[in-house]
Structure 1
Amino acid sequence: MKHVLAAAVLGALISSGVAQAAPLQGQFRIDGSDYDVRVGLDYIDFGPFLPITTGRFEVTTATLDFAGLDEGTIKDLIALGVGSVMLDDFVEFDGKEAWNFTLTDIYPGVGTPAGCNNTPGSLCTPLLPPTFEPSPFTLLNLNPNGSSVSLSVGGYVTNELGEVSLWSGKFTSQLDQLSSGQALGRILDDEFGYVQSSWSAEFTVTPDDTPVPEPASMILTGLAMSAMAVVLRRRR
């Protein structure tokens, strides 16, 4: 009877050892608050501007694990192109430095070079020299005197225990006095080289479907299995 009880206890230990704590999930929206963003042909500089390589943001709305967070930092993106990257701590919340938002994907813009004009509703995605591959930016003409610039990105985030969630984000900057054609002309002009305006971004975070045992749980499981072996040897 004692052996049966011991085995049951050890089985419970093993079960609890592989149990998963909750990975991060929720949605949040951030903006630059008092700081603008500068968008060049292949870079984003979040204010405060260079030589500082990180910008400041304010959380405007948030749900679930991100509710109650106020401010944080975001890294500038230099030599920006479409494709895979690996940038740790891309987004960092004040007081949650153990959370690691890793940027892994920069998605292509959804416009075309032909859309880089002054027609309301047109979608512009310029080509990047010297290879003339599509840019990750999408410029949308809102009216003859205004447009927006957007960028879509993705990656993964780990919490304090190393549990993984996936995230997607979209950045938007409003250009109230410039059409997409005018904005692109200013970016390509050596005298300017960028457009500057306010910005915001929306993020969605969902738990990864692939379960990964926590380090502490793996240690507990190992101890339980060792104790089980001792019980079995004594029974013999």
Structure 2
Amino acid sequence: MAQIVAVELGAVYDPGVGGADFTIDSNGILQPLGLLVSRDSREDLLPRTREYNEEIPGRHGELDFGSEFQPRILELHVSTAEIDPATRYTLKRTLAGQLNPLAGVKTLVFEDDPTRMYYVKYAGDMRINTQWPTWFDFVIPFKMANPFIFSANEHSFTGSGTITNAGNVDVPFNVYVYGPAVNPIISINGEVMTWTGNLVAGDILVIDTGNQTVRLNDINALGTYNGVFPVLRAGSNDIVVSHPDTVFKWWDRWI
């Protein structure tokens, strides 16, 4: 794994927790930026919501058409270590390069909660307080376009039994059926998924319940599928498969 140089001390940083792009280590240092995190906004209970409703004249209240979560905002209040005033500009350019939103979404893990991963991107306005000559502080405004917090590692389960979704919301999953198999049947908490056809040795049937796709050896195979795309509920899920070489993969997630 590539190593990244931490900016404040020149120390070598190895992104250890799940290979995340950013890690807040046990000393409260945001690596590889080398910034001290004084506080963060993880204590916010829920993201803001987007409401869909309609008022009807002459009728009390309103019709509720459901809610959706808006992007989650995760703010990190940070400060630099003591630095030579002559290097302030260089440090600012280094930080800008690391936080560049054009590089896309990055992963963030807190070492005090290493099983969860945040998918973040810089968004907003970052004003640096430069009133002190040898250090400065500011707030990094991260946005989570997907407001859910994910498990740091993908989970896998083979065959029949009980799958535990350790998160607090339902999650989609992928099913991999490895040939040889004939007309595989999969039951998730009583919801039955069936695909009609023959798999020979070397074939792989992939059912993606999140994107609602079915592919055989990377070729569309939705035509002989029964169209059932269940989720893994938070907690325990009863799994029954007709073919033992059936593998489930998913990511726990929390709101």
User: For the superposition of Structure 1 and Structure 2, which TM-score range results when normalised by the shorter chain?
Assistant: under 0.3
More strand by share: 2
TM-score where L is the length of structure 1: 0.25
Q: More relative contact order in 1 or in 2 (CA 8 Å, sep 6+)?
A: 1
TM-score where L is the length of structure 2: 0.24
